[in-house]
Structure formats: C-alpha cells, structure tokens
Chain A
Amino acid sequence: MNIRKNILRNLLPALLWALGIPMTGIAQTTPDPGLPGTLAVTKAEYNFGDLAYLCPSFPDSVEVRGSVHYPTGLADSDYPVLLFLHGRHETCYDTTNPSNTSGVWPCPSGWSSITSYEGYDYLANQMASHGYIVISISANAINATDNSVGDYGMQGRGELMQHHLDLWNGWNTTDTTGPFGSLFVGKLNMQNIGTMGHSRGGEGAVFNALYNRSLGSPYGIKAVLTLAPVDFERHVLNGIPLLDVAPYCDGDVSDIQGVHFYDDARYSDTTDESPKHTVLFMGANHNFFNTVWTPGSYIAGGADDWDDYIDPLDSYCGFDTSSNKRFDSTKQKAALTAYMSAFYRIYIGHEDQFGPILNVNDLVPPASSTLDSSEVFVSYHPGHTDRLDVNRTDSTVRTHTNTLTDTVIETGLLTSTICGGGLGMASCGITSYGDQKPHEGSGGVLGLAQMHMRWNDTTEWYQNSIPGTYENLSQYKYLQFRASVDFRETTTGQNLDLTVEVIDSAGDTSRQVVSNHSHALFYQPGTEPQELPKVILNTIQIPLSSFTGINIAKVRNIRFKFNQVDAGAMVMSDLAVITGPCGTLKADFTDTLSGWYRVNFTDKSTSSKGDSVARLWNFGNTASGTADTSTAANPFHVYPSIGTYHVCLYLTTYRKNSYICTDSFCTSVILPSHVGVPTVNEQNITIVPNPAKDHISITGAAPTDVLTLVDLYGRTVLTTTITSPDVLLPQDLATGIYYAVVTTSHGKVYQKLLISK
C-alpha cells in the first residue's frame, strides 16, 4: 500500500471541506435530470368561476381554476400527469394600487386575484418538455378562510385536488364538452400521477393521496412531493414514494415541520416498500419556489419571508449581510427544478438512471441545479425489503439493545442517550427553541427519537453488534445512518468527523472516515436567536465495498470511533445496511446436458423477497423460430447439432418501490461432439416400426409409463400414457426426425424416430 497516497487521499477531501471549499471539482456521474427536454410546450387555462365547487368538507365554495402545460401537439397518448397545489398566500390585489393586497374571496370589485397557481410555471414547463401533462390548480378560496376550519382546510385541499382529477378524467375519456373539447381524450395516464404541494398545499397533497386511497384509489398517485410544507395534522403517508423539500432559511414555516412526513413514515408500516427522501436546500427560503410569491416577479404580494419576517441581518440567511449564503430566486428555482425533476422522472417516468441523486449515492449536485455540495443534503429511507435496520434509535432501550436485539455499547462518551422522540421522551437538550430542532417532539407530540452522543477524547467509541443470524451482509450495498452536529456541545464552526469501523467474526477490522463519503456533519450556520442554527439530520452513506479486508458475510460489529475530532457532539438515527434500489436482483443460471442435444436450464437468479420477476430466455438457436425463447422458470431446449450456443437469461422486476429493474446473465453452452443418443435397448423397451407412419408399437413399457414425442426444435408434439402398446400418432404429424422419450419409473429412454408419410 502506498501510505503517502493513502494519507493524501483521505486528507484532501477533509481539508477541502474544513476550508469550506466545495468538492465541485469532482465530476458528476449521474445524468442531469434538470436539463430541459426536447418537446415544445403549450400552456392552457381553465376557469369555471370563483365559487364553482363545494368541497364535501370545506364550508365555503371554492374556485375551480387551473393551468395545464403539455407537450405541444400531444402526439402520443397516456402521458404521465403531475398535479400542483400552491399554499396559503394573499388572494387578491387592488388593481389601482397593487401593493394593497387582501385575503378575501372572491376578490371585490376593482381587485384581481393573485394567481399563485401560476408560480410553478417554470416547473411545469420543465416537466412538460419531458413528456408530462402538468396541471396547477388555484386554491385561493380555501386560503381565505382555512384558519377558521378545524383541520386548516387540509381535507378541503385534498378534495379540491381530487375534483380536478375527476374533471381531467372526464376530459381524458368521455367529456368533450369541457374547455378543451376532445384535445385531451386518451392523452392522460390517470394511473401514473405525481402530485406536489407547497406550504399548506404540501399537507394538502398528502391529504389528497390518502383521500384518493379512501375512495378506492380511482387514480394512481405514484409520487408525492411536499415543498416546504406544514404538517399540522401529522397524517402519515405510507406506500407512495415521498420527497420532502426543506429550505434551511424558511422564514415562514421556520420550524421545518415537513421533516415529520419523512420521520413519521419510516417505520409506521412494516410492509411499506416506498422510498422516502428529503432534500435540504441550505440557502433557500419559503417563497422563492413560487414566482408569484417572489418580490419583483409578480405584480403583487411577493415577500422574502426570511428577510421580512425573521431578520435580514442574520449572518447566513439574511440577504443584507455580506456573509450570507442565501439563494437568489433564480438559483432557488434551479435547485428545485433539478431535484423535483429527478424525483418525478424516477418514480413516474421510471428513468432510474437519476436514482443516485436522491439515493445519496452521488453527492455531486446536478449541474443544472447551480448548487455545490455544501448547499444541498439528501436523506434516503429505502423500502422495508431493501433495508436491514441495525438501530432505529426509536426507543430508550436502543442505548443498550439495538433493533437486531444485539448489544449496544460505548466507551467514555459524555452523553449517550436516546432523546427527542416526544411523547414523554426527554429532549436532546441542544436547544430550547422548537424552530432550531425541527425533528424533535415534545410533550404529547411525536418526534424523531435520536441517539445523542458527546465525546471529548479521540479514544471514545460507540458500537452496535450484529447477531449471527444477520451477520451475512453480502447482499447489501451500503451502510448508512442519519446524523447532525449538536451545535451546542461542539465548538462553533467546527465540522465533525468520525471513523466507521466494520468488524467481522474473526476480529478483522476495516475503517472508513465519514468525511470521505459525506459532508453531513457540518456545523450548522446562522446566528439568529431561537432560529439558527437548526439541527436537521441528513443521510451519511458508505459503500460496504469500501470496507475491504474483512469477511462481509460474517460481520459482527459496526463501530463509530470518534477519533477524527478531539471533542464534539452529534445526534444520529436510522443506522442500517441497505441494498440498492433494485434489491438483490441478480440473474444467473446453470445448464445441464440431458441426453441427445437437450439442455436443461435451471434459474439460479436471486431477487428480493416480494419482487415479481419476469424471465425471458434466449437459447441462441435462431433456427428454432419461436422455440428460441421461453418465459418458463426452468426450461429445456433441444439443439439441432453439436456446437456452441450463446444463451441469455433476461430478468425484469417491477418492484414495489416503483423501480423497474433489469439484469441479465449470458453464457456459452457447448454441445460436445460425443453427445449421443442412448438406445432404447438399454431399458429393454423397443419402438417399432422405424420409420413410422401413423402408429408405433412399444414393447417393454409399463402401463404407467409416458411417451413423449419431441421434434428437432424441442417442441412436444405428443404426450400420452402408454396404456396400450399400440400408440396412434397425430394425423398432422409432419415427415421428419423426432425423438421418442419413454419416461419409466427407472428413468428415461430415448430413441430417434423417423416419421415418413
């Protein structure tokens, strides 16, 4: 080993990070999802009036209005659909004095509506250019009075979204009397829908998914994006891929309560195979995601929520400071465009090549996002089957017994507690202020239970043991956990680091320094009292393949060694090993020569439990026509002659995490020259006449024996129990060479048979 190179390789990334130099020099390997597509886009609108619909559970009639962006010409059919819902914002402006805004509905005379639904046109254009039909709907009437409604209008929002889906379903099928005539008939795939809600719309989108489910899922909602959402009602969405976008400098929903959508859904349903993601944009605020809400981008009602409502002088989030790292509106929109595109293109468009961006495999942000790696952090929670949870940190017992019911031990830590989970669990004590600890619960409110660790010596460590039952980690790809710096007990400005050790049953140890794989242990920025810094956990992921020199099939301990920084504190959750999004799919087969030119194939492929696998064999014998392929689990093929044949098995799984995964295995099957035909006389069974015309006589066979006649292409043309020595041959049997196979209780007997008509 070249020690000097090794030191530099480990030191350089840490040095760059400590100096605040982003790792932008590393080229991104994942394609950029945020680049515009090739399709031209058309925008249209529909408006049925300000009081056109009464939601079943909202007291006031609401407008039915929206826009649609679609690929111009709609050349294809069954386009995937996206539905956007804006959040709560002013509803009307005075046309004579646009700085005068109001929250009433309908707008009074002389006032115009603020068209918040148009604030996502840039996103709609992006997705429509890739072949999506994107609908964005207005909810001003709900915003006008939702604070007086028990659930703040969330069910109403869900119902309004459903109403629009009903309208579009009609325009997609039989209703040509609508505003678009027959333009959209057959054009929308109503079973492939993604939704997005911003702010209160985010919780509305979650309500809609649950409402749609309660109605028997008339529409296929396949992905939900919550954009800087509220989560007042704490409903949990399982079974649908979720992305929560969190802006660090949110001056409106400044407690970043949207993290609960991710946290609450992780373990609430043990059958949930849907992935969950969060994306934390460090310099983003609440409003700039919507151009109508952005100052200078719309005639009325825009505001910089951080500057206007919190403090423009904050060192990190305040635009008025020279040190601020705020995104301007252009950058913020670009960031969302890239990550939103990745999300929908993966889970709606099945473009799995973008997976690494949201699965924490590729930390380099897409170039189109204009971000560097210090400005965005991702969390990823795979579906149930794709994880082995080592320590969920979900209970106070997890300080000594982990999720695998094995021991948890630590040495010398100053703090070693499970905290923050609410419902009576102690707070982690990092801060007293809720906005600074979005994940934590309090009193009777659920939060994220976290492992809180503090050290002041580089010899200290924390370890989770793995029982023998689970020691074989060879099917997994990554070790991961979520973490955040405890800014109270860490030196101000000090980024943290640690070493992860994997120890096998022989005591062999392999180590990886976290900073080589993640920047997530950054000291959180900002100084605004009671707002910043914020403790937001992000996923740290280390490939298991990097832990070399150990037996990955006999792992016994995962240890965190706090040997990189003299002192510090952090919180951690969700320690697990995970597969990739395709699970354990791996194509493989064996082949066995069984008699004359016949090869039996046995599928030895692996796939994750619960995966539905489709097979396609190709036997490399094109002369056999349709017999050259098979979808059977363990087929056989009869080849025409000796030689080498290229045989492939292609697997496709339609996974419950919405990924469509493929794998293939090919090998050369060699039929050697000594392949012969065992004679029937070896079993004292005779078949006459040969050549035969319309019948054969079989002697020596038992009445329970079975005769199978197979042509040269491996096709079975006759199967019959030999109840009588005389067997009539099919009248349409063509002249040619066949193989008679007599299956007896002692085995099989083969004879080449010539049929001559």
Chain B
Amino acid sequence: MKNKIILLSGLLFILALPLRSIAQEKARTSISSIKQKGSTVAITLTSSKPFRMGGNIYVLHVGSRNFEHSSQSSSKGKGTITFPVTMDEYNALQDGVGMYLTYGRIKEQGADMEMLSQLKSNKCWSLGKLNKSMLTK
C-alpha cells in the first residue's frame, strides 16, 4: 500500500510538472552589496540565473532615479550586475525608497513598479528598499 501511495504520488508529481518553458520560473534577484570605491558607489545585484546578454539594457530604479550603465558577469549559473553610481548621486538617494531592476527602460511616468515586479516575465524585479547602511568601503 505504501509503495502504491509513493508510486501514485510520484505520478501525480510528474503530471504536475510544467512543460519545458513553463518550468523556467522567474529569476530571484536581490541586492548583494553596496560598496564605495573612491568617488563611486557600486551597487551590486545577484540573481539566481545569469543576467541575459541581450539587446536591451538593465535599469536600476531607486526611487525616482534611474541608473542605466552597468557591468555584468555570471558564474556557476548565477548572475551578477553592478551599477556604478557617483557619490553625489548616491548621497542624493533617499534611504528607504523602493528599488527595482528592469530589463528595458520604463516609458510611462509613475509606473506601478511593484505591480510590474509581480509579473512572471523576467522584466522587472523588486529589490526591496534602499538601505543605506549597507554601504561599505
């Protein structure tokens, strides 16, 4: 009986498995570090999947400010992307504002970034709130 239950459970599990592409769940992305290097602050994000190298640009949204220039790398199936921000720009950021990463610019002003980040497409991720105490030197 026990074996039958195991077998049935296994069968149900297999049947519940999504098809190939559906199984590609959204990458999980978060802020891994905020480091000051001279007059630049490097805000680094890591992702459970490599950041794609495509035509569009990754944009870091911090409150009402956007940062578009970055460098990215991947290692062991994970992705890292770093946005260099000047010290002045960083100082102007408001602690506690929402941070988001998008793939592509957001054209509409006042877009609901939180709602965008809830979508299953790999186009917008919520990074939580800016915690300036994360800054290290």
**Which residues on A are within 8 Å of B, measured CB to CB?**
87-91, 101-104, 143, 145, 147-150, 152, 199-200, 228-230, 232, 252-255, 286, 303-305, 307-313, 318-320, 427, 432-435, 437, 440, 442-443, 445, 528-531
Contacts and interface: CB of A to CB of B under 8 A. Distances in A.
A312 B21 contact: yes
B98 to A, nearest CB: 18
Contacts of B22: 312-313, 320
Contacts of B121: 309-311, 528, 531
Contact of A434 (B54, B103, B107): B107
B109 A442 contact: yes
Contacts of A308: 21, 24, 122
Contacts of A149: 69
A88 B109 contact: no
Interface string B81-115: 00010000000000000000001111111010000
Contacts of B104: 253-255, 435
Given A254-B56, A286-B55, 8 more contacts: A87-B55, A143-B53, A147-B68, A147-B70, A305-B54, A312-B21, A320-B20, A434-B106
A87 B52 CA distance: 13
Interface residues of B, number: 35
A91 B109 CA distance: 35
B55 A103 contact: no
A316 to B, nearest CB: 15
A230 B106 contact: no
Given A308-B21, A531-B121, A152 B111 contact: no
A309 B108 contact: no
B53 A90 contact: yes
A309 B122 contact: yes
Interface of B: 19-22, 24, 50, 52-58, 68-74, 84, 103-109, 111, 116, 119-123
Contacts, number: 112
Contact of B73 (A103, A148, A252, A442): A103
B119 A529 contact: yes
Given A88-B53, A255-B104, A309 B69 contact: no
A529 B19 CA distance: 21
19 contacts: A87-B55, A88-B54, A101-B74, A103-B72, A103-B74, A148-B70, A229-B55, A230-B56, A252-B54, A253-B104, A303-B52, A304-B21, A308-B122, A312-B24, A433-B111, A442-B108, A528-B121, A529-B119, A530-B119
Contact of B55 (A88, A150, A531): A88
A307 B55 contact: no
A230 B68 CA distance: 14
A270 to B, nearest CB: 29
Nearest to A427: B108
Given A434-B106, A435-B104, A253 B69 contact: no
A252 B56 contact: yes
Contact of B19 (A320, A432, A528): A320
A252 B53 CA distance: 10
Contacts of A252: 52, 54-56
Contacts of B55: 87-88, 199-200, 228-230, 252-253, 286
B111 A307 contact: no
B84 to A, nearest CB: 8
B53 A145 contact: no
B10 to A, nearest CB: 24
Nearest to B120: A311
A362 to B, nearest CB: 31
A442 B53 contact: no
A442 to B, nearest CB: 5
Nearest to A232: B57
A434 B109 CA distance: 10
Contacts of B24: 307-308, 312
Contacts of A440: 107
A88 B55 CA distance: 5
Contact of A102 (B71, B74, B116): B74
Given A103-B53, A150-B69, A309 B123 contact: yes
B58 A147 contact: yes
Contacts of A319: 21
Contacts of B116: 530
Given A230-B56, A252-B55, A320-B22, A434 B105 contact: yes
Contacts of B119: 529-530
